[in-house]
Amino acid sequence: MAAFASMAALLLAQFLVKATLFSPETVVRQHFSALGKRDAEAVLRTLPPDDAEELRGSPLLSPAALRDPGYEPPSDLEILDVTRESGESGDRTARVKVRYVVGTVRHTSFLRLIRDDDSTLALFHRWRVADLGVPLSVTAPGSTEVVVDGRTVRAQPDQEGIETVALVGRHTVRLADNPMLEAAPTKVAVTYAAAADGDAGASVDLPVSIRPSATAEVDRQVRQLVDQCARSRDIAPEGCPFAVPIHFGEVSDVRWKVTAYPQVTVERAEYGVAPVVTTVTRGTATVSGTEEGYPGKEPYSQSVEISVEGNMRLVDGRIQLVLPGEPK
């Protein structure tokens, strides 16, 4: 009888340990607790070891990113349901339905878990969160890098947007420092899948615009270019935004005078990353000189329009106006 009681007590103890320390619910609570404590290593310990090692270098899974005030971890976790799934993997997978708060909004999501093949004390198998973070896509027209929770994330070559992996919570996304562009910081909520068979993911579009200071710098360079061209003694100055296209005789003693500067604007490019410079109001310049005509030399005078089209780019951190035909 005593042996039976001891066996029953041992089985009960094993059941209680398995139900409390080695259950899907426990690892989900550990996962959210680690997020709440901003403990990156504790978060990685709730993932499969191989996957945790792969994600260790991800910018948004770093200790600095979790501690950044731009990241807001989820809170108020509730576990609503646990479903052990059957199939080729037997009872090695589970789906946990949870409810939690991100920012000020309550979300209901599903986490997929997988059980380790290796056991502890030859009896207990640990569960791991199989969802390896959530894909986060950021669109920032004209820029190839953004800052998320204080960490710089860059677009990969031939990548339309900026893709990274984020943890559940609310993240602050801003444009990386850029003399040409600006955008107000934006918060984005990242959650797990809202349906048992759904995919998780989040996206954010930064409201990128051209800095007024960048437009002013381009306008300064346009005026500088026009003034430089006006000092030319050529009736068709090379690389300049104005010229006399047709004249009958050779013109000598050429003198240019700017009577009105063009007004330009800078806009984000629909395609590509270089902002586009266009003229909204044409300028004017007059040229005078002496023309060789049939009767002989005669005074020459002509008025032409000034129009500037091109792109704006950064060279060693400085804004530069690029005209068509110049190397980019």
Q: How confident is the model at residue 4 (pLDDT cuts 50, 70, 90)?
A: very low
185-213 tens-digit pLDDT: 999 999 999 988 888 889 999 999 999 99
Half-sphere CA count of 288, side-chain side, radius 13 A: 4
pLDDT 10s digits, 92-149: 889 999 999 999 999 999 999 999 866 554 456 799 998 777 899 999 888 889 999 9
**Maximum CA pair distance of the chain?**
136
Measured from the Cβ of residue 131, the count of other Cβ atoms closer than 10 Å reads: 19
Residue 39 has which token pair? 């403990």
Q: Where do the H-state alpha helices sit in 82-238?
A: 212-230
**pTM for the model:** 0.78
Select 16-209's CATH number: 3.10.450.100, 3.40.190.10, 1.10.275.10, 3.30.300.130.
3.10.450.100
Structure tokens at 273: 């990353």
Q: Please give the share of the chain, as a percent, with pLDDT higher than 70.
A: 86
* DSSP H or E stretch at residue 33: helix 24-36
**Strand pairing category for 263-267 and 276-281:** antiparallel
pLDDT-derived band at 17, boundaries 50, 70, 90: very low
Q: Range(s) for CATH 3.10.450.100 in the chain?
A: 16-209
Distances (CA, A) of 327 to 138, 167, 238, 322: 30, 42, 15, 8
